[in-house]
Amino acid sequence: MKKPITKLIHEYLRHDKKFPHVWCPGCGNGIVLGGLIRAIDAVGLSKDQVVLVSGIGCSGRMSVYVDFNTLHTTHGRALTFATGIKLVKPELTVVVVMGDGDALSIGGNHLIHAARRNVDINAIIVNNQIYGMTGGQFSSTTPYGAYATTSPYGNIEHAFPISELAVVAGASFVARATVYHAQLLEGMIEAALKKRGFSLVEVISTCPVQYGRRNKLADPVAMMTYLKENSVKKEKADTMDPKEIKDKFVIGILADVEKPVYMEDYLQVKEKSKS
């Protein structure tokens, strides 16, 4: 049985933190936070057992509101801090929340290496396709042609497909959802939390203020509709012509594989070193 939202808020949001939060009306960050909390509750993790590490950006502020062990790191480096925590206390569940600029631009190197190493970390990338916090500059996931404060004539760079990158980098579990597909999102985060090894959930999110306003999607509802209309379930996408899904968000589970997990192998290293 799912708990009512008021109960979840009471249980998982900090009581001593001064609200209101920093996010704009219409921002997708709250939906991601809701999905994360419901997933943690569904898995039945204790609050002491969860570490929420975040990077720098609007999405990075998520860590301050929740009643876990929380760490708001430097821009792009959240996964490196998380790696240190997980290796010292493997019994903790380490969740890392990052923005697209955080995880892919400045922190791209750490992302591919965390996936490659397959440290048991649960990464959530809130992909709003823009640098929200600094005022709407294009990021490495801003679509080709889109407008941003640093691409006033349209973006001439190409977007990283985050999830596909994580798959080839070696993550154990990779899934994509959008903030429109909130239930799917919650389910994906739950599956990621349960999975051994590096997991990544990419959430296509809305930033009506910094992205929408410059790209004919200023109305939060319009952004949601856009996400709804441009998403294709993985199962369906597999049957479609690649040309048809070129500019679509393929949602669902993109990878779910069993492979050696860093810390489990390191335990064997410890054994070997003693003999």
Partner 1 sequence: MSRTNVRKVRRLIQGNEAVVEGALAAGCRFFAGYPITPASEIAELFAERMPQVGGVFIQMEDEIASLGAVLGASLAGAKAMTATSGPGFSLMQENLGFGCIAEIPCVIVNVMRAGPSTGLPTSPAQGDVLQARWGTHGDHPIIVLAASSVWDCFTLTVEAFNLSEKYRVPVILLSDAIVAHTRETIELPDPGTLKIVDRVKPTMPPEWYIPYQDNPTGVPPMAAFGDGYRYHVTGLIHDVRGFPTQRVDEITSFMSRLFRKITQGFQEIFITSGFMLEDAEYAVIAYGSVARAAKRAIREARDRGIKAGLLQLITLFPFPKRTVQGVLSKSKGVLVPEMNLGQISREVKRVNECMTKVYKLNRIDGQGIKPQEILAAILQMWEELK
Q: Which of residues 130 and 253 has its CB atom nearest to ligand TPP in the complex?
A: 130
17 contacts partner 1 (rule: CB under 8 A)? yes
Beta carbon of residue 229, minimum distance to ligand SF4 (angstroms, whole number): 20
Peptide bond into 20 cis (omega under 30): yes
What CA–CA distance (Å, rounded) separates 221 from 52? 29
Cα-Cα-Cα-Cα torsion 20, 25, 26, 31, nearest 10 degrees, comes to 10
**Phi and psi of 2, rounded to 5°?**
-75, 140
**183: Cβ contacts below 8 Å, ≥ 6 apart:** none
Q: Which of residues 102 and 190 has its CB atom nearest to ligand SF4 in the complex?
A: 102
239 contacts partner 1 (rule: CB under 8 A)? no
Q: Which of residues 106 and 254 has its CB atom nearest to ligand TPP in the complex?
A: 106
The answer to whether the CB of 217 falls within 8 A of the CB of 210 is no
92 contacts partner 1 (rule: CB under 8 A)? yes
List residues near ligand TPP by CB under 6 A: 56-59, 75, 99-102, 126, 128, 130-134, 139
Pattern 120-159, ligand SF4, x by CB under 6 A: --------x---xx--------------------------
184 contacts ligand SF4 (rule: CB under 6 A)? no
Q: Which of 8, 21, 30, 74 binds partner 1 (CB under 8 A)?
A: 74
The answer to whether the CB of 173 falls within 8 A of the CB of 191 is yes
> How many residues at the interface with ligand SF4, by CB under 6 A?
12
156 contacts partner 1 (rule: CB under 8 A)? no
Residue 83 touches which of ligand SF4, partner 1, ligand TPP, none (Cβ within 5-8 Å per kind):
partner 1
What CA–CA distance (Å, rounded) separates 268 from 254? 30
27 contacts ligand SF4 (rule: CB under 6 A)? yes
Q: Which of residues 91 and 229 has its CB atom nearest to partner 1 in the complex?
A: 91
Quickly list H helices, the chain: 5-12, 29-43, 62-65, 78-88, 100, 108-117, 162-169, 182-194, 220-229, 234-237, 262-274
232 contacts ligand SF4 (rule: CB under 6 A)? no
Q: Which of 25, 91, 152, 156 binds partner 1 (CB under 8 A)?
A: 91
What CA–CA distance (Å, rounded) separates 42 from 158? 37
Cα distances (Å, whole numbers) of residue 141 to 7, 70, 125, 126, 130: 36, 27, 11, 11, 7
CB-count burial class (<10 Å; 0-12, 13-18, 19+) for 226: buried
**Phi and psi of 133, rounded to 5°?**
-60, -35
Beta carbon of residue 141, minimum distance to ligand TPP (angstroms, whole number): 8
Q: What does DSSP say about strands 122-127 and 199-204: parallel, antiparallel, or unpaired? A: parallel
Q: Which of 10, 109, 238, 265 binds partner 1 (CB under 8 A)?
A: 109
Q: Which residues bind partner 1 (CB under 8 A)?
A: 14, 16-18, 47-49, 51, 53, 63-64, 67-74, 77, 79-89, 91-92, 109-110, 113, 266, 269-270, 272-274
Q: Which residues bind ligand SF4 (CB under 6 A)?
A: 23-24, 27, 29, 58, 128, 132-133, 207-210
